[in-house]
Amino acid sequence: MKRVNVLLTTTAATQALHSHSYDSSLLERLLFRVAKRWVAGYSADEAINAALDANRRGMSAILNFLGEDVVDKAQVGLAVREYLSLMDLTKAKGVRGCVSAKPTQLGLAVDYDMCLQNFIALAKKAEELGQFLWIDMESAKFTEDTITIYLEVLKEYPMTGVAIQAYLRRSGADILHIIEHGGKVRLVKGAYHEPEEHAFTTEEEVDGNYSHLLKMLADGGNFFAVATHDGRLVDEAANLQANNCEFQMLMGIRDELKSQLVSRGLPVSEYIPYGSQWLPYSVRRIRERKRNLLLLARSLVQS
């Protein structure tokens, strides 16, 4: 009977997660237990503790204050101040790591120039503290502006990088352009729903393009990050024996694979998000892997 309940709950959860009109208050109640696996908590202090734990396990940390699609300028300003404070706290606590921010959290959905100036402010702060700064990638409608912002920031602040999504058809050309400018890329598969005209739609196509882009990055000579939990692609990247890359994985996912890479002496960073705006991030994590959906269903049955 319990197995039937899990299956029924899994079906209901799947329908909710794939609906674009889901009840966010309902999902918050359903997801809270499971989301704690890949979200450090609500506060910067909780994120710092998670980062120090990652350091103890042989990894660097990439801290992210959750938030996206912000259209209120006051909230944009709050996010900028949070990141500046987080950088100081990271330095003060001796964390080996850096921060990563989303463009729409820093104003891209409101004003391009405001977003650019906000990233310049973060990059300047990171440089002063001897830290790196990553720019996350979001849905395809923001790709062009995000890359343009990154290349503008890169002109003055070389210790910066941008995420590129392997499922987008344009990414090969984007990577070549970034390499030509001396930029640094975090290669991810991509977790947003995009139309076929913009994105590969099958797992085979996405994985094939990821492999192709990996070779481009390794040959390009610039630093890059292999950001996937796919064991086959991780092995493929490791076999390239590129000395200009690191592996990046999300908090709470494939911990055993992280440990294996660390034990082999390979550089690994753990992406550690925190904050009250954890719901959209958590929904994407559950959509990505059937195992995460099953965890959610089991949690619901147990409750």
- Angle between helices 112-129 and 143-156 in degrees, nearest 10: 40
191, amino acid identity: A
Q: Is the pLDDT of residue 166 over 90?
A: yes
- Distance from C-alpha of 283 to C-alpha of 18, rounded to nearest angstrom: 9
- Check residue 282 and give its pLDDT: 80
Q: Is 186 a catalytic residue?
A: yes
Q: Which residue has the higher pLDDT, 173 or 1?
A: 173
Is residue 24 over pLDDT 60?
A: no
Q: Is 210 helix (H, G, I), strand (E, B) or coil?
A: helix
Q: Is 57 tagged catalytic?
A: no
pLDDT confidence of residue 13: 46
Residue 49 in this model has a pLDDT that exceeds 90? yes
Tens of pLDDT, residues 67-80: 999 999 999 999 99
pLDDT (average), residues 189-199 = 93
Angle at which helix 112-129 crosses helix 73-92, to 10 degrees, equals: 10
Q: Residue 199 and residue 100: Cα distance in Å, rounded?
A: 24
Average pLDDT across the chain, whole number: 89
Marked catalytic residue, from 23, 111, 186, 285:
186
93 pLDDT above the threshold of 90: yes
Assess whether pLDDT exceeds 50 at residue 43: yes
Q: Which residues contact 22 (CB under 8 A, 6 or more apart)?
A: 16, 283
Tokens of 1: 């009977």
Residue pLDDT, tens place only, 210-265? 999 999 999 999 999 999 999 999 999 999 988 899 999 999 999 999 999 999 99
Model confidence at 26: pLDDT above 80: no
- Ordered by start, the domain boundaries in the chain are 1-36+282-303, 40-277
Q: Which of 23, 37, 111, 136 is catalytic?
A: 136
Which H helix or E strand runs over 271?
A: strand 268-274
Give the pLDDT of residue 2. 39
* Token pair 């500046």: residue: 84
pLDDT digits (tens, 9 = 90+) for 134-144: 999 999 999 99
| Mean pLDDT score, 41-68 | 98
Whether the per-residue pLDDT at 11 is higher than 50: the answer is: no
Q: Is the pLDDT reported for residue 81 higher than 50? A: yes
The fraction of the chain above a pLDDT of 90, given in percent, is 76
The pLDDT value given to residue 138: 97
CATH of domain 40-277: 3.20.20.220
| 3-state DSSP assignment of residue 43 | coil
